[in-house]
Amino acid sequence: MHILFVGDIVGRPGRDVVAAELPRLREQLKLDFVIANGENAAGGFGLTRPLADDLFATGIDCITTGNHWADQKEILSFIDEEDRILRPRNYPMGVPGKGVGLYETRAGARVLVVNLMGRVFMDAIDDPFAAAEAELSACPLGEGADAVVIDMHAEATSEKMAMGHFCDGRASLVVGTHSHIPTADAQVLPNGTAYLTDAGACCDYDSVIGMEKYEPVQRFLKKMHGSRFTPAMGPATLCAAFVVTDAKGLAVRIEPVRIGGRLQQALPTL
């Protein structure tokens, strides 16, 4: 199976580069399933129904989120009915939405997507490792699902790497989001799980993690808030991870994807 995981989509520049490049990538890489983190799609904070529909129209099959998932309160009115949008699985009981979905590709393969959020330097929510264990046990790779993808939305690289090794051999891909900076450690772990600490973001990289530079720089300099963060509006880079799995659902290949904008380009070939 050919899977693409698209990093955090930040504002209009991120949405535009995904709309421009993803249809071609689906064809060129013969993609069976596409997942994208969409929690920053609405002006950098949250996700709305119209923007979610626009993202699905580009060829995205499932949208994951993270700590900004509910910044646009209208999501609370539709997330329970929209199975293709996930919020972190380890939020407390009773929170709207769900953190896991089992999807079917056009060819009939089953893909389990689990959305988790870390706790180091982030909100004190439920244990992501216990949540991962529950879902991997309930729907094992090769039995309940033909592929398993885990979005580990976390600040600490150590927590992301620990999740990768915790799931090694039981997931097709464990990929980090949230940091908005693509890391250089794409690898297949010893037991067959593809791993990447952070997929990066789809954003203008002449920025501070996708946001216009002035305000975040001033906050570091003066420790005072001036104005709201807004997405940098220059040409964006699409950042993603491309994964190929075998008949057992384990990874045989993972490569970074970077298209457009300022970053060094990277495009896998078949």
Task: Quick: pLDDT tens for 109-161.
Answer: 999 999 999 999 999 999 999 999 999 999 999 999 999 999 999 999 999 99
Tens-digit pLDDT profile for residues 61-107:
999 999 999 999 999 999 999 999 999 999 999 999 999 999 999 99
Tens-digit pLDDT profile for residues 179-190:
999 999 999 999
Average pLDDT of the residues in 24-46:
97
Alpha helix positions (H), 49-96: 49-58
Residue 51 falls inside a structural domain: yes
Under DSSP, is residue 152 helix (H, G, I), strand (E, B) or coil? strand
How far apart CA 116 and CA 119 sit, in angstroms, is: 10
0.75 cut: is pTM over it?
yes
- Residue 117 lies in domain: 2-259
Catalytic residue among 68, 153, 178, 180: 68
Q: Decide which of 227 and 268 is more confident.
A: 268
Under DSSP, is residue 163 helix (H, G, I), strand (E, B) or coil? helix
Strand order in the sheet with 194-196: 100-104, 110-117, 147-153, 173-177, 194-196, 187-188
Could you tell me how many residues make up the chain? Answer: 270
Residue 267 falls inside a structural domain: no
User: Which amino acid is located at 146 in the chain?
Assistant: D
Residue 36 falls inside a structural domain: yes
CATH code of the domain covering residue 195: 3.60.21.10
Compute CA 224 distance to the chain's CA centroid, rounded to the nearest angstrom: 31
**Residue 129 burial class via C-beta count within 10 angstroms: exposed 0-12, middle 13-18, buried 19 and up:** middle
- Using pLDDT thresholds of 50, 70 and 90, give the confidence band for residue 226: confident
**Catalytic residue list contains 68:** yes
Angle, helix 128-138 to helix 157-166, in steps of 10 degrees: 20
Q: What are phi and psi of 158, to 5 degrees?
A: -65, -40
Q: Please count the structural domains in the chain.
A: 1
Residue 247 falls inside a structural domain: yes
Q: Which two tokens stand for residue 130?
A: 């216990």
Residue 224 falls inside a structural domain: yes
Residue 265 falls inside a structural domain: no
Residue 264 falls inside a structural domain: no
Tell me the β-bridge partners of 238: 259
